[in-house]
């Protein structure tokens, strides 16, 4: 299993579901790849290297795959560093336009998808084929052209093993680029899940999505900084992809974000963004004491996401799901509560005062209720 990508990728923002992008960006679900898929990824990386070598063998072709200023892959970022992309290269000397530099991207696809591209080139012409063939690849190319300042994109496409190869060039479209830059901003700045591509769980994009059980079912999101209502991405004046914990009033490095929800170091302050507990609805909350009360939709029983007596930590809720109840928790925690002279809730409240900044303006409790009502109305 690969580590979660710390940014929203330009390579995937063309996918039509905003909620999928938000769930990805917030690290809501684990994704385990099958061996066959990992083999395809590896084949794609190798195919890119082979294609780069072949391009460099052509007289007059100049291909640059690294940024000379950094010695690293050519990269772009926006929205505070939370929206990023990395181009395969920049190529110049193509027979069709020898003097024009092009953003270069290489894709390795199965035989059927390859044949479809060949057909579209024949039917629509080279420069109109990519948009019709794969919108995600098209948008990726538009964004790389936008951020690099180049006006041409050159995509090479090969079958597995790089046996058969074709290519298409595409012109820059400012409208396409800006549409998806703004789209990315909506995802990054959203505090709650945006609209999904379909309310039908059998819709093909939903059916194969690894967030399906969270989005359409009862599965609770993972516990990490990004699924916590106290955590926000910083987008003003910085380009380093910073996240900030408003509860602790400090920045959150990526490795801290990854560890905050693990079994070895669960964060005691983590409280779920309410929509990430899909089997329940918010009933009440306390900013001062840092708890949120829910009603289980299946049986109307109440439970609280908190750190006090008879309250459930986020890890409890994530593991127990809709089977969690206060009655069950009471049986588990009662011996511990009886043995303690000071309740866990009192200890927690004395040691961790609520941030005054978090209470400014509209209370987050009111916002929770509004967000929940809005989601139910969809």
Mean pLDDT, range 133-150, rounded to an integer:
98
pLDDT in tens, 280-306: 999 999 999 999 999 999 999 999 999
Pairwise CA distance, residues 311 & 317, whole Å:
10
Mean pLDDT, rounded, of the chain = 86
Choice among 9-18, 28-37, 189-198, 201-210 with the minimum mean pLDDT: 28-37
Q: What is the pLDDT of residue 370?
A: 55
Residue 376's pLDDT is what? 47
256's CB contacts (< 8 A; 6+ apart) are: 225
d(CA 26, CA 261): 13
The answer to whether residue 350 scores a pLDDT higher than 50 is no
Looking at residue 186, what is its pLDDT?
97
For residue 356, pLDDT over 60 is answered with no
| pLDDT tens per residue across span 4-61 | 899 999 999 999 999 999 999 999 998 876 777 777 777 778 999 999 999 999 999 9
Name the pTM for this structure.
0.83
d(CA 233, CA 81) in angstroms, rounded, equals: 10
Residue 120 — very low, low, confident or very high, per pLDDT cuts 50/70/90?
Answer: very high
Tokens of 340: 């303690």
Domains of the chain: 8-185 (3.90.320.10), 222-377 (no CATH)
Of the candidate ranges 44-48, 80-84, 186-190, 241-245, the one whose mean pLDDT is the lowest: 44-48
Q: How far apart are CA 263 and CA 261, in angstroms?
A: 7
The answer to whether 284 touches 296, Cβ cutoff 8 Å, is no
% of the chain with per-residue pLDDT over 70: 83
DSSP assignment of 121-183 equals HHHH-HHHHHHHH-HHHHHHHHHHHHHHT-SEEEEEEE-GGG-SEEEEEEE--HHHHHHHHHH
CA distance 287 to 279: 22
118 pLDDT higher than 80: yes
Q: What is the mean pLDDT of residues 159-183?
A: 97
Going from the C-alpha of 358 to that of each of 8, 271, 345, 363, the distances in angstroms are 26, 14, 20, 8
Integer CA distances (angstroms), 245 to 13, 78, 205, 255, 357, in order:
26, 21, 33, 14, 12
Strand 102-108 and strand 152-158: the pairing is: parallel
């Amino acid at each position: 299993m690969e580590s979660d990508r710390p940014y929203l990728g330009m390579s995937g923002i063309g996918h039509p579901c905003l909620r999928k992008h938000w769930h990805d960006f917030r690290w809501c679900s684990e994704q385990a790849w099958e061996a066959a898929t990992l083999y395809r990824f590896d084949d794609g990386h190798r195919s890119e290297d082979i294609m780069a070598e072949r391009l460099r063998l052509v007289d007059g072709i100049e291909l640059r795959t690294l940024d000379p200023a950094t010695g690293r892959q050519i990269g772009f970022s926006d929205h505070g560093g939370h929206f990023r992309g990395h181009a395969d290269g920049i190529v110049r000397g193509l027979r069709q336009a020898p003097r024009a530099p092009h953003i270069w991207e290489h894709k390795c696809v199965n035989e059927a998808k390859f044949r479809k591209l060949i057909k579209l080139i024949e039917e629509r012409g080279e420069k109109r084929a990519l948009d019709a063939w794969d919108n995600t690849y098209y948008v990726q190319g538009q964004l790389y052209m936008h951020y690099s300042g180049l006006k041409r994109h050159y995509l090479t496409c090969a079958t597995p093993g790089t046996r058969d190869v074709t290519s298409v060039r595409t012109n820059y479209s400012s409208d396409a680029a800006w549409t998806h830059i703004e789209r990315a901003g909506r995802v990054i700045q959203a505090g709650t899940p945006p609209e999904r591509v379909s309310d039908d769980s059998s819709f093909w994009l939903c059916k194969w999505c690894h967030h399906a059980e969270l989005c359409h079912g009862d599965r609770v999101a993972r516990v990490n900084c990004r699924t916590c209502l106290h955590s926000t991405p910083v987008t003003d004046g910085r380009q380093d992809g910073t996240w900030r914990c408003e509860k602790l009033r400090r920045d959150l490095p990526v490795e801290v974000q990854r560890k905050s929800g693990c079994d070895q170091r669960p964060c005691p302050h983590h409280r779920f963004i309410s929509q990430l507990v899909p089997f329940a609805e918010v009933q009440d909350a306390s900013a001062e004491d840092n708890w949120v009360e829910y009603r289980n939709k299946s049986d109307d029983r109440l439970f609280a996401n908190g750190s006090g007596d008879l309250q459930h930590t986020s890890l409890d809720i994530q593991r127990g799901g809709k089977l969690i109840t206060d009655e069950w928790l009471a049986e588990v925690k009662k011996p511990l509560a009886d043995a303690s002279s000071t309740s866990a809730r009192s200890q927690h409240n004395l040691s961790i005062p609520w941030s005054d900044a978090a209470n400014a303006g509209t209370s987050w409790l009111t916002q929770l209720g509004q967000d929940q009502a809005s989601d139910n109305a969809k």
